[in-house]
Amino acid sequence: MVLVWLWAHKIKNAGVVDIFWSYNFPVIAIILFFLAPGYHDRKVLICAMVIIAGVRLGTHLATRITRHLDEEEGRYQQLRKEWAPNAEKKFFFFFQFQAISNVLLAIPFFISCLNTTTVLSPLEYAGFILWFISVTGETIADRQLATFKSDPANKGHICQIGLWNYSRHPNYFFEWLMWVSYFVFALGSPWGILAIISPAIILYLLLKVTGIPATEEQSLRSKGEAFKEYQASTSVFVPWFKKK
């Protein structure tokens, strides 16, 4: 993340941190697969889950961000204004916080990859099923939004197609659900209950810190009253119902 900050500082685009935050999880999974002493089949399963999800999200973000690498996303532009005149220094520590969060959130992976029991538990199978549902849901939400934004006629408008008609952040919901799946998977190992820290941290970050608050503040700045109406008619997070 130090290297990523140096690059971000050079190109004046802190948004690239999101790409490498996602890619860091596959790096951790690969290290664990080769070095952790756990049961081989369990390591294959959990590490494959982490690598697939991390590469998918990281590549999705890289595709989106590198299309306008010379133009920083609005929420990071706002942080740059709020943190002036020490924005670069604060961004450095922000990037390091992201690196620390990578390690803390990887607790379920460490717990699972240290488990030497040679039989997979029902909780591990349940975790895998929940993971598959969450990754599929997040992929659908990301593609729906990308398709909407790819149409020049939609510039300045709010995406209300598919899952976005019911929730303002279906991608964030399924991202959180994915971390719940890692927790469920880890419950099949000794001390697995400690893995609750991962979905708890993710939920806090999404609802209170870098996720929904920053995204919605930017939408209010760019779309104004239209976004307020969208807020009033949709669920903030869970995409199962539409408000009347």
Instruction: Place 244 in a pLDDT band, splitting at 50, 70 and 90.
Output: very low
The mean pLDDT of the chain is: 91
* C-beta separation of 195 from 111 below 8 A: yes
- In three-state secondary structure terms, 1 is coil
CA angle, 14 then 15 then 16, to 5°: 90
Share of the chain above pLDDT 70, in %: 98
Q: How many residues does the chain have?
A: 244
* C-beta separation of 154 from 76 below 8 A: no
Tokens 């190992």, located at residue = 189
Q: How far apart are CA 213 and CA 233, in angstroms?
A: 18
Q: Which residues contact 204 (CB under 8 A, 6 or more apart)?
A: none
How many Cα atoms occupy the beta-carbon half-sphere of 163 within 13 Å? Answer: 23
Instruction: Place 143 in a pLDDT band, splitting at 50, 70 and 90.
Output: very high
**pLDDT tens for each residue of 105-126:** 999 999 999 999 999 999 999 9
Q: What is the pLDDT of residue 242?
A: 58
Q: Which residues contact 219 (CB under 8 A, 6 or more apart)?
A: 158, 227
What is the rounded average pLDDT of the residues 152-171? 87
- Judged against a pLDDT cut of 70, whether residue 240 lies above it is answered with no
Q: Which residues contact 47 (CB under 8 A, 6 or more apart)?
A: 29, 30, 32, 33, 109, 113
**pLDDT tens for each residue of 184-224:** 999 999 999 999 999 999 999 888 887 788 788 877 877 77
- Judged against a pLDDT cut of 80, whether residue 4 lies above it is answered with yes
